[in-house]
Amino acid sequence: MITNINSKDNEKLKYTRALLKSKNRNKESKFIIEGYRIVMLALECMANLDYVFINEEFENKKEHVKLLEDLDKKNTKIYKTTNKNFKELVDTENTQGIIGVVSFKKKN
């Protein structure tokens, strides 16, 4: 199931934006992955994929339907946001329209 988030002040958006900074990634033990293939590989490898964000175009492409269905089957939360909000979550100029937030274990 896809949840729409349109407000730039949404807590999930703010939290994800904060993960762009190294200190926040280390503190939260989470990092962002970007792109269709990388999210698909994370799903196949059973990585701890907490949730994904997609932009407005991603959901409308028929080649992405299976990935969205697979994410839903794995109970991964899917959030859709505006293109403007999505651009604030990515480092790349030409985004593929999907990012994932993955948890990792800290080394002792």
pLDDT exceeds cutoff 90 at 99: yes
Catalogue all structural domains in the chain, each as residue range(s) with its CATH number: 2-103 (3.30.1330.30)
- Please say whether the beta carbons of 78 and 71 come within 8 A: yes
Looking at residue 94, its pLDDT comes to 86
More confident residue, 91 or 85: 85
Q: Read off the pTM.
A: 0.92
Percent of the chain with pLDDT over 70: 98
Those residues whose C-beta lies under 8 Å from the C-beta of residue 39, and which sit 6 or more positions away, are 33, 49, 52, 67, 71, 98, 99, 100
Look up residue 83 and give its DSSP letter: H
> Mean pLDDT, to the nearest integer, of 62-85?
95
> Mean pLDDT, to the nearest integer, of 85-91?
93
Buried b (16+ CB within 10 A) or exposed e, 58-71: beeeeebeebbeeb
